[in-house]
Amino acid sequence: MGWFPFLVLSFLLSHFPSQTSSFMPFCNYDDASVLLSFKSSFTLDSSSLSNPWCESCHPKTESWENGTNCCLWEGVSCDTKSGHVIGIDLSCSCLQGEFHPNTTLFKLIHLQKLNLAFNYFSNSPMPNGFGDHVALTHLNLSASAFSGVIPSKISHLSKLVSLDLSFLGMRIEAATLENVIVNATDIRELTLDGLDMSSIKPSSLSLLVNFSSSLVSLSLQQTGLQGKLANNILCLPNLQKLDLSFNRYLQGELPEFNRSTPLRYLDLCYTGFTLESLNYLDFYSSDFEGTIPLFLYKKYLI
């Protein structure tokens, strides 16, 4: 007897999936039209050539249809109370075309998470408008074919928790990065691989010591950074991952690590790092994985 209502309910849910939409807020009307016009500003190219970063891209925006609840569209998430769009994940969605400098996307003022990684925006200049989304906590534009200089306004995103501007072939000015470091005090994850940071002269490398103590992961592969890095950066209290690889002219010394060092991942290959103060290195029974850097071999193991 007690099973009957349950069976009826599961029958209804499985046969009338649209019924489940009543548990979702209905999306804000203006937000839906913003998304539709954003969708229509791109073509979809699902050939694997369009973005070598995706094994196969998946056109999420194909499920975006006028008149349906945008909170149920693929890649879209809404605030459960207001129905405002707060998250967009269109990574690897086969989007191709110019990114309009005044794209309607910038009207979504409640947006907190935006991932447009692995699309092809035809080397459009990166619009300033990204910096107007001050509510953003997550921004990911990795390998999405923007070009030029990272807009300085990006430093207005003071609530950022995660920022990925990797593999864009763009440049960042020293002052912009400095302002990001000063303003984004809650940042946990910063990935700037392949970004041209050569505007940061060896004499101003110390601006990197001011990273927020909340930083957990920092990836600066192949950025053209030069000079001698103070080892404070390796001592950030919560840093678990640090990748400085492929910065040939970046030098530094490893500090003395101890049990309370949170660092779990350190990549210094093809850098000028040395271990001046180290005179004993023992990996016995340590679960050590990965390769031992060449400079260690030369100095200590052979």
Q: In what order do the strands lie in the sheet with 271-274?
A: 227-229, 247-253, 271-274
* 33 counts as binding ligand NAG under rule CB under 6 A: yes
d(CA 296, CA 115): 39
* 134 counts as binding ligand NAG under rule CB under 6 A: yes
Considering only the stretches 44-52, 258-266, 270-278, 281-289, report the one whose residues sit in contact with ligand NAG under the rule CB under 6 A. 258-266
Smallest separation (angstroms) from ligand NAG to the CB of 257: 7
* 140 counts as binding ligand NAG under rule CB under 6 A: yes
Contact 212, 190 (CB under 8 A): no
* 260 counts as binding ligand NAG under rule CB under 6 A: yes
Nearer to ligand NAG, 11 or 257 (CB): 257
Considering only the stretches 7-15, 253-261, 262-270, 289-297, report the one whose residues sit in contact with ligand NAG under the rule CB under 6 A. 253-261
Considering only the stretches 72-80, 134-142, 195-203, 284-292, report the one whose residues sit in contact with ligand NAG under the rule CB under 6 A. 134-142
Smallest separation (angstroms) from ligand NAG to the CB of 158: 4
* 240 counts as binding ligand NAG under rule CB under 6 A: no
Nearer to ligand NAG, 64 or 246 (CB): 64
- The Cβ of residue 143 has, within 10 Å, a number of other Cβ atoms equal to 24
Helix (H) or strand (E) holding 228: strand 227-229
Smallest separation (angstroms) from ligand NAG to the CB of 8: 35
The single-letter code of the amino acid at 95 is: L
User: Can you give 285-298 as a three-state secondary structure string?
Assistant: CCCCCCCCCHHHHH
Contact positions with ligand NAG (CB under 6 A) in 90-109: 91, 101-102
Helix (H) or strand (E) holding 12: helix 3-15
What is the token pair recorded at 294?
């060449």
Considering only the stretches 16-24, 175-183, 267-275, 281-289, report the one whose residues sit in contact with ligand NAG under the rule CB under 6 A. 175-183
d(CA 48, CA 213): 40
Is the dihedral angle over the CA atoms 126, 127, 131, 136 positive or is it negative? negative
What is the token pair recorded at 234?
């390796």
Smallest separation (angstroms) from ligand NAG to the CB of 283: 19
For ligand NAG, which residue of 57, 94, 105, 156 counts as binding (CB under 6 A)? 156
* 133 counts as binding ligand NAG under rule CB under 6 A: no
Closest C-alpha among 122, 108, 125, 162 to residue 41: 122
- 159: Cβ contacts below 8 Å, ≥ 6 apart: 134, 135, 136, 137, 184, 186
The single-letter code of the amino acid at 132 is: D
Residues in contact with ligand NAG by the rule CB under 6 A: 33, 36-37, 66-67, 91, 101-102, 115, 117-118, 134, 140, 142, 155-156, 158, 162, 164, 179, 182-183, 189, 191, 206-207, 209-210, 235, 255, 258, 260-261
